[in-house]
Structure 1
Amino acid sequence: MTGDLEHGSELAARTALNIYMDFAREFSVDSALELLRKARSAGWHSIDNKVCQAICRLSSRFQAEDIDELELTLRDNMSDTTSLIVVLWVLFMNDSINSIHERRNRLITRIITEIPDHDIRELPLITPSMNDTEFWQECLSLWVAQVRVWRNNPAVLGNAAQFASFCDYNTSAEWFLQCKRVDPTNPAWPHQLGLLYLREQNRRGVPTDHEVLSAMAISELEQALSLSKHADDKPAVEIDLMTALFDNRRFAEARSHANSLIRECHINPDPWQRGLSVFNSNTILGLMSLAEGDAAKAKDHLLASVTPPDEQIYYFFPPRVFEMLLAKKLLKNGEFASVRSFLILCSKASDPDSSIFSKWIREIDQGLTPDLGSHLYKDSSG
């Protein structure tokens, strides 16, 4: 199968990765690492997300004590990013153990100092624990030093800005703006800057700040969308723009983007991105229908949010990231039957090991109102 990645097409590579994802337990660790290294180095943009998912799947096969040998390979070769990400995943999942926490911090420090231009997209893996304030400041100082040296390197600037976005809004914004200056056609920078402005908008309590920051965020996201050339990049940007417009009560524009995402979702080669487009767009459309007093249309959108609109494969995410605001509002309106049907569809589309949907369905059957958990969107629909 690794030959498919070395000599074949993007389609062959995606097929090989799909096989690995379906039969991850059947592959030896060495074979899996070889496959993923070749996939990562092939340079095919359309399989990047699939590679990240496969690396995460591989990481779940390790325990903390199993990675010593893998970590040894990184002592002299930090450029093996596939092994590096596997190690980071395992350390991240076991960070509550003191000895593991210290190992993880040492590795984060090495990443900043030795490979500041790394291509590690899983940002939580390379950020300190939230309560480790002293190490946060140490890392930020290391990034400041790297930016002084690599002022015109967008990879270093982008990594530094991403890190600072967790702890220093002004520094992060400054570095993202510098990214835009040195790499003006890359949609990643206005996209990330727009998300930074939205997080800061949510953090601040002053209404005038909200208006200014929301306008800045939407402007950046619109710019990012106009720069997005890849079919598998565009939906992520458009989902964030649609959500920002909805949160700021610009419903006509949000509806236009939602309809666009549904209309064009089949173009995206990644079934996870297709699923995100369908789910988020219908959630927004349903919330707006409910705000307009059209409960019947809102229920239709609820069911459509987890229903593939065509014959392609659509992957929907497990419950920890499902947006449940529309279902919660319909429950509040007494629409228990529709929400029950939605939860059944969720259970079929999600991780088969998940029991949360069964629990919620059982509670509805018992005449109870299930707590569907927290939501990602602000309640802007009134």
Structure 2
Amino acid sequence: MPLARGMGGSAMRMGDWGRRFCAVATLALLAGSVFATAGARAEDGETLERIRNRGMVVCGLRSGLSGISFTDPQGHLDGFLVDFCRAYAAATLGNAQAIRVVRLPDKPQEFDAVEKHEVDIALTTTTWTFSRDVSFDVEFLLPLLYDGQGFAILADGPVAPLERLGAQTVCVKSSTTTERNLQDHIRQTDRPWTIRTFKTFDEALQAFLAHECGLLTTDRTVLVTSLAGYRKAGLNVHIYPDVISREPLTPYVVRGDRNWYDIGRWVIHATILAEARGVTAADVQAGRMPDDPELHRMLGHGGNAAKALGLPDDWALQVLAQVGNYGEIFERNLGEPYGMERGLNRPWVRGGMLYAPPFR
């Protein structure tokens, strides 16, 4: 009898569980149906067709980020992310200069520009996160920069380690993952820090330089490039090596256009593989190619991969010849001007995170 009662109770509980599961499954199917309908706004191949019809690639960027996307004193648009915009133009149109840049607003409005086809691709310092991945009608490609949230401090003498700093006011841009990371860090480490928020990063930067805050925090790449001029001018700014988060800065495209999503990823992979194999823009221009079957396939000397993408056979060759490999793009924009170390942004053959699948 006790066994029978136990089995009966278990059966009843399983019945309740089953009904609940069916209800949840139904809701999940409905949600998936709605999501699929929303994602169907982009059709496979339409972005590439639109690019060819207009004769240029439209990239969503943020200006004013030294080394990343900025306008130089001569009025020329430049930067690490701008060069990748040019790489897409080289791949799709054979002309790296056939680009138009649209300045994106702050998050979350920045995602609208991609969802509404106002830009073909967003190339910003946007961190790929779970909530952004599942909440918007966009597809993240793969990280262009592996970064982390860091800290800068103004100091005339020796600098105490970050973990030993006492009470501090920290300047940070509001309504960002940066602010939330900082909140989590303070709570988890029980630091006696006060957060002071600003609408823009530039406002936070200026308050920091005016000694209104002891610390400034954002992605370490942005700290290095934004503070470089002040450091060269003699300002004693120390940027800590410590990071408190993972920040995979990742471009994204509209959801639903698988062709453009594939192009978006493989253009990046091509620059990564070329660096790993030691092939530069000058090598490609001069026809100095190693006897490497994989590189030959990537550069259009056999195989049908280009046709599957809807691109010319020499799409990767044009990217490398006109823009360069990943290492060249990084050094030109971030390494040489700012002394930024590669860190995780090295190819896998040199201990980094940049890994290209086989071109086969």
- TM exceeds 0.5? no
**TM-score scaled by structure 1?**
0.26
Q: Could you say which structure has the higher helix fraction?
A: 1
Larger radius of gyration: 2
